[in-house]
A and B are shown apart, each in its own frame.
Chain A
Amino acid sequence: MRPIFQRWLALFRAGRLDRELADEIRIHLAMQEEEFRRAGMSPHAARQAARREFGGIAQAMETYRERRGVPWVEGTARDVRYAIRGLRRSPGFAAAAVLSLALGIGANTAVFSLVYTLMLRMLPVARPQELVTMYRTGGWGNGGISSYPMCLALRERKDLFTDVAALGVASKARFQADGRARPEFAELQYVTGNYFSLAGVASALGRVFTDDDNRVPQGHPLVVLSYDFWRNRFGADPAVVGRTLLVNDRPLTVIGVAARGFRGVEVGRPVQLWAPVVMGAEPKWLMSEGMHWLWPLARLAPGVTRQHAQAAVAALWRQHLERHYGNYPNAAFKRKAFEQGLEVRDAASGFSMLREQFGKPLMVLMAAVGLVLLVACTNLANLLLARGAARRKEIALRYSLGATRGRLVRQGLTESLLLAAAGCVAGTAFALWGEGYILKFIPAQSEVDLSTTPSGAVLAFTLAVSVISALLFGLAPALRSTAVDPAAGLQSRGAGTAGRGAGLRKALVVAQVAFSVVLVVLAGLFSHSLAELRAVDLGFQNRNAISCQLDFPRTWKDEDRRGARQRFVAQAETLPGVLSVSYSFPGPFREGGADITLRVPGSEQTSREPANVQIGYASARYFETIGSVPILGRDFDRNDTANSRKVAIINQAFARAFFPDRANPVGRIVSFDDSKPEGGEPTYIVGVVRNITHYGLRRGVRPTIYVPFSQMDPGWPPSILVRAQTPPSFLIPALRRELEKLGSEVVLTEPRTIGQRIDEDIFQDRLLATLSGFFGALALALAAIGLYGVVAYGTARRAGEIGIRIALGARRAGVVWMVLRDALLLVALGLALGLPVSLAAARTVASVLFEVQAADPVAFATTAGVLAGIALAAAFLPARRAASIEPVKVLRQE
């Protein structure tokens, strides 16, 4: 204990102790000298002899120092100072190193922190690893949600689960602290009564739900607040329990506040209000097997594995499908229903609607940023090797002065760690910015906030990545540059004899090129895929039309809403610059869609069973507003009312499927009464429009029929579309002012242009193309630097040889070609290694690509071309320098 304490203490008294030791040695030498003089030596000889007797003073002091303090700390401090001095002497190298590391480490941190937040972080509940969910897949499955009866059926299986709760997807709810207050919005989630007990979350105030709070449909107007919401919105007022709040215009009584720190189980959406599931749906929908809106959250019974549960759940699900869809008359519908599955999935890290869409791109990015860091490390290793070669003399000198190899290697590694530390700090700053940049791609309508708070796991990841990269790029150069024979090193003329070093450097450049190839191929694939998506024919022109929604008080009746919507449309049409206003469900590029079955009298297709087509509900002038004037017939207009004859407009796909005789379908009849082959009440086709991509660029276009809103109201809120000559920044405030006239309770939500919605629809593709493009370019730049370094070094070494060649009559063009050929050879090797790996990588991302094969000739050919170009560009300067060598000068130096 004592030596350790003294040693640490010595760290702080180093100066005084050093002086004391110097004193002691001086006294020692003086005594010895005096003794020798007394023995008859001359003063000079006596001093010399005393020194000889003592041995190496510097060594003694060094050993003393090492033993005195904590050598590790002192040595490191000294190494750090030495490294800083060295880096200061070559600021260009230091800047390049720190910058490339910062980009590498920062990108890794940014992506990892998103991966961690979205996929890895455990829920703050009791024993999260026991939690599973039953994730519905296929068919119309969206985000894994299931029906309430299904959740109840799962809860019956006490042999599999200790308990099963259900929760809705969190959503923005209108919320008023009392009837007179302005409406605010709060995150609301419907949960079953056992939700809190299953999660192991107690109440901070009052009580949380029990099963008794979730029995009678619409019979439990209760709400539980989250701790944060209680503190921030109600100032932690304990009297809030028992108060009545208006949530979605319904009075709910506060019964309690959930435990501090619990924000629900949905990633990126902290819940503020919880209400019972029985309050979340109309009684007729609540028990409907076809209404999917809840996530089951289950705790596995002791001893039950996920695989075991999966087998039992699959059987249960099969029975459910048989019971519910087995006798369905509509074969097309039934087929789709039976495509659904129910998967037992791990729920320890919570739920997310975004995970399915965003998880795969994130994983691809994680791999890509890993490659970027590898490229940066190889590049740095190369630069360090070059520095080491230039410092051979210095190192040889230090060996002969008594430095050990271990000491020199440690010094080299200290420099690497210092660079990594600087890269880590700068990278963390870059990561904060980069994360924000990535998050901007996520559609605002998903309302998910993944912005992360610095967490221990992410910090540990960053540190680990930094240290590992320091070892990656630092170890080989440190070992190689210290493998110097002192005698030879001191004699040699600088860089003359580093043949083995040159081989290693070439190997590193080849590796670097190979890594870059993978990144560039990925960038090429994603860019090509994005270009294909951009090239998809939308079927309409007005990408600048604004689409938005109106949010009405829940107490308003359907007629009130319809009237207000009509008035708003009429007023908006009178605004200056507005060309047309219309509305539709589903709106262009909004989440949602609608199917309907119908019969087409006279068509082979529907003679045996009704056909399943997509349906759109649109108001007057809809196709004019989005810029897709019917190619045959007419648009909907004001004369299409509830009382006029039933009309419809079809798209080309519909026409091709059901009227294959190519005759003009306008005037033909379809029927939504699908009970008999010849149909019932007729609907007359009045127009044909182009194939409009309404539901996402990736989904393609199915046969679609459009009907006037006035004749068939789906009951869902439509999107309002405004086509105007004025820019959105002027138009949106003007629309808001118009809306004020309808009453302050109506709110305009999500005003965006269709173009913005299209961008959001393909956000993963844009994200991947942008980021992989950036990383590819970065890797290429680094590869160019590496290539340039190696080629320039090689030509400098061969200056004598080249001089002789020129003297013997070699043509300058021949010399240029000789140098370029070397560079091309390195790139060719890199390509040979990188392309097969790229192909394997491309196969893993094939599912994310749109209309692009994994072995995409465009991406691969471009990559090869770009790298050859880079090789030529990087080698051009050294080649020109080599060609301009004056033989006389070089030979004189030899």
Chain B
Amino acid sequence: MRFPVDIQKEKAAYFFWMSTGDSKADILQGTLDLMVLRTLQTMGPQHGFGLAKRIQQISGGALDLNQGTLYPALLRLEQRGWIRSHWGASDANRRAKFYEITGKGRRQVEKESEDWARTVAIMERFVRLAEQD
């Protein structure tokens, strides 16, 4: 069974069809994954704080990212082999852990971007349908 979910009250603002058994956190996570991967792909290696700041910048402040949730997401991506990490020194010569995207991660970005575009296209049709009524 699928049912509509309005998660604007949450941190992100999406209208979605969800199948029972999915949890809201997973949806958010899925989108966060893509954001992290894309950011790392375009901006190069980043430490956690830098990454959080970039994501907020790119979203133009529309995304109220709970920075703390970033670290579990990074761990997950690393476990999947999409990113890797190493300790290094920051611009301010501070010790920090840096994350960078792997080849496998780049392929994942391609795949997820396509999925995402398809989803958006479908959703747009529904939104327009709703406006006509």
A residues sitting closer than 8 Å to B (CB atoms) are 2-3, 6-7, 20-21, 23-25, 27-28, 30-32, 34, 53-57, 59-60, 63-64, 66-68
Q: Is the CB of A6 within 8 A of B79?
A: yes
Given A2-B79, A6-B79, A67-B76, verify A27-B69 contact (CB < 8 Å). no
Picked from A2, A28, A67, the residue with its CB within 8 Å of the CB of B48 is: A28
Tell me, in angstroms, the Cα distance from A34 to B49 when the chains sit together: 12
Q: Closest chain A residue to B80 by CB distance?
A: A3
Alpha-carbon distance between A25 and B47 when the two chains are bound, in angstroms: 11
Cβ–Cβ contact A55 & B71, under 8 A: no
* Residues of B with C-beta under 8 A to A56: 68
Nearest-neighbour CB distance to chain B for A36, whole angstroms, equals 12
A60 in contact with B97 (CB, 8 Å)? no
- The residue that A31 contacts in the complex, of B49, B75, B76, with Cβ under 8 A, is B49
CB < 8 Å neighbour of B81 from A2, A20, A54: A2
Flag if A54 contacts B72 (CB, 8 Å). Answer: no
Total A-B pairs, Cβ < 8 A: 65
Complex CA gap A159/B16 in Å reads: 71
CB neighbours (8 Å) of B68 from chain A are 25, 54-57, 59-60
* Pair B75/A55 contact, Cβ less than 8 Å: no
In the complex, whether B96 has a CB less than 8 A from a CB of chain A is yes
Known: A27-B47, A55-B67. 19 other contacts (CB 8 A): A2-B80, A3-B79, A7-B79, A20-B97, A27-B94, A28-B49, A28-B67, A31-B47, A31-B90, A31-B96, A53-B67, A54-B66, A54-B67, A60-B69, A60-B71, A60-B72, A63-B69, A64-B75, A67-B72
Tell me whether B24 is interfacial, beta carbon within 8 Å.
no
For the complex formed, measure the closest distance between the CB of A825 and the CB atoms of chain B, giving whole angstroms.
46
Measured between beta carbons, the chain A residues less than 8 angstroms from B79 are 2-3, 6-7, 67
Q: In whole angstroms, how far apart are the Cα atoms of A3 and B76 in the complex?
A: 8
B30 to chain A, nearest CB (A): 14
List the A side residues contacting B76 at CB < 8 Å: 67
Q: Is the interface of A mostly helix, strand, loop or mixed?
A: helix
Give B47-84 interface residues, CB cut-off 8 Å to A.
47-50, 52, 66-69, 71-72, 75-76, 79-81
Known contacts: A6-B79, A7-B79, A54-B67. The answer to whether A24 contacts B72 by CB under 8 A is: no
Q: For B118, list chain A residues within 8 Å (CB).
A: none
B96 touches A25 (CB 8 A): no
Task: List chain B residues, Cβ under 8 A from A68.
Answer: 75
Q: How far is the CA of A30 from the CA of B90 in the complex (A)?
A: 12
Whether A31 contacts B71 by the Cβ 8 Å rule is no
A892 to B130, CA, bound (A): 65
Residues of A within 8 A of B107 (CB): none
In the complex, the chain B residue whose C-beta lies closest to that of A53 is B67
Q: Mark B91-104, 1 if CB is under 8 A from A, else 0.
A: 01011110000000
User: Which residues in B have their C-beta under 8 angstroms from that of A63?
Assistant: 69, 72
Residues of A within 8 A of B71 (CB): 21, 24-25, 60, 64
| Chain B residues whose C-beta falls within 8 Å of the C-beta of A23 in the assembled complex | 97
Distance A537 CA – B43 CA, assembled complex (angstroms): 103
Nearest chain A CB to B79's CB is how many angstroms away?
A: 4
A69 to B: closest C-beta gap in Å: 10
A775 to B81, CA, bound (A): 60
Q: How large is the interface on B (under 10, 10 to 19, 20 to 34, 35 or more residues)?
A: 20 to 34
Cα–Cα, bound, A67→B49 (Å): 20
Residues of B within 8 A of A67 (CB): 72, 75-76, 79
Jot down 27 A-B pairs with beta carbons below 8 A, ordered by A: A2-B79, A2-B80, A2-B81, A3-B80, A24-B48, A24-B71, A25-B68, A25-B71, A27-B48, A27-B49, A27-B97, A28-B47, A28-B48, A28-B52, A28-B67, A31-B47, A31-B50, A32-B67, A34-B92, A53-B67, A54-B66, A54-B68, A60-B68, A60-B69, A63-B69, A63-B72, A67-B79
Residues of B within 8 A of A57 (CB): 68
Q: Which residues of A contact B96 (CB under 8 A)?
A: 24, 27, 31
A53 to B49 Cα, complex, angstroms: 11
Residues of A within 8 A of B80 (CB): 2-3
CA distance A684 to B95 in the complex (A): 119
**CB-CB < 8 A to B90: which residues of A?**
31
In the bound complex, CA of A27 to CA of B92 (Å): 12
Query: How many angstroms from the CA of A242 to the CA of B94 in the assembled complex?
Result: 90
What chain B residues lie within 8 Å of A21 (beta carbons)? 71
With known contacts A27-B47, A64-B75, A68-B75, A55–B95 Cβ distance under 8 A: no
Cα distance A766–B69 when bound, in Å? 69
| Separation of A25 and B72 alpha carbons in the complex (Å) | 12
Of A23, A31, A56, most buried by chain B (CB within 10 Å of CB) is A31
Q: Once bound together, how far apart are the Cα atoms of A67 and B76, in whole Å? A: 7
For residue A57, which residue of chain B has the nearest CB? Answer: B68
Nearest 5 interchain pairs by C-beta: A60-B68, A55-B66, A55-B68, A3-B79, A63-B72
In whole angstroms, how far apart are the Cα atoms of A63 and B69 in the complex?
Answer: 8
Nearest-Cβ distance from residue B52 to partner chain A, whole angstroms: 8
Cα distance, A31 to B72, chains bound together (Å): 19
CA distance A375 to B105 in the complex (A): 58
Tell me the chain B residues, 9-66 only, with Cβ under 8 Å from chain A. Answer: 47-50, 52, 66
Closest to A30 in B: B94
**A193 vs B22: C-alpha distance in the bound complex, in angstroms?**
69
- The reply to whether B75 and A24 contact each other, CB–CB distance below 8 Å, is no
A642 to B71, CA, bound (A): 107
Tell me the minimal C-beta distance from A894 to chain B in angstroms: 43
Residues of B close to A20: CB separation below 8 A: 97
Query: In angstroms, how far is the closest chain A Cβ from the Cβ of B59?
Result: 14
Distance in angstroms from B41 CB to nearest chain A CB is: 21
Knowing A55-B66, A59-B68, A63-B69, the reply to whether A32 touches B49 (Cβ < 8 A) is yes
Q: From B50, which residue of chain A is reached at the shortest CB distance?
A: A31
A17 nearest in chain B by CB position: B75
Q: For the complex, give the distance between the alpha carbons of A56 and B80 in Å.
A: 25
Complex-state Cα separation, A135 to B23, whole angstroms? 64
Enumerate chain B residues within 8 angstroms of A54, measured Cβ to Cβ: 66-68
CA distance A3 to B80 in the complex (A): 6
**In the assembly, what is the distance between CA of A24 and CA of B50, in Å?**
12
Closest to B68 in A: A60
| Complex Cα spacing A27 to B88, Å | 12
Contacts of B81 in A (CB 8 A): 2
CA A361 to CA B69, docked complex, whole Å = 63
The CA-CA distance from A25 to B125 in the complex, in Å, is 42
Alpha-carbon separation in the docked complex, A56 to B72 (Å): 13
Considering the chains assembled together, what is the distance between the CA atoms of A66 and B79 in angstroms? 13
| Residues of chain B lying within 8 A (CB to CB) of residue A31 | 47, 49-50, 90, 92, 94, 96
Looking at A7, A30, A63, the one whose CB has the most chain B CB atoms below 10 A away is A63
Interface centre among A20, A53, A66 (most CB of B within 10 A): A53
* CB neighbours of B66 from chain A (8 A): 54-55
Centre residue among B81, B90, B92, B96 by max chain A CB count within 10 A? B96
Interfacial chain B residues near A53, Cβ < 8 Å: 67
What chain B residues lie within 8 Å of A60 (beta carbons)? 68-69, 71-72
Complexed CA–CA distance, A236 and B51 (Å):
76
A702 to B67, CA, bound (A): 95
Contacts of B95 in A (CB 8 A): 27
- When chains A and B are docked, how far (Å) is the Cα of A23 from the Cα of B76? 18
Report the minimum CB–CB distance from B61 to chain A (whole Å): 13
Complex-state Cα separation, A28 to B48, whole angstroms: 7
A27-B96, A67-B75 as given contacts; A55 in contact with B48, CB under 8 Å? no
Q: Are B69's CB and A55's CB within 8 A?
A: yes
Closest partner residue, chain A, to B79 (CB atom): A3
Residues of B within 8 A of A34 (CB): 92
Report the Cα distance A56→B66, complex, angstroms: 9
Assembled-state Cα–Cα distance A25/B97 (Å)? 10
Beta-carbon nearest neighbor of A21 in chain B: B71
Q: Bound state CA distance, A719 and B79, in angstroms?
A: 82
Among residues of B, the one whose C-beta sits closest to the C-beta of A24 is B97
Which B-chain residue is minimally distant from A68 (CB atoms)?
A: B75
Docked Cα-Cα span, A659 to B59, in Å, equals 118
B74 to chain A: closest CB distance in Å?
9
Chain B nearest Cβ from A651, distance in angstroms: 82
In the complex, what distance in Å separates the CA atom of A32 from the CA atom of B52? 10
Q: How many Å lie between the Cα of A232 and that of B58 in the bound state?
A: 84
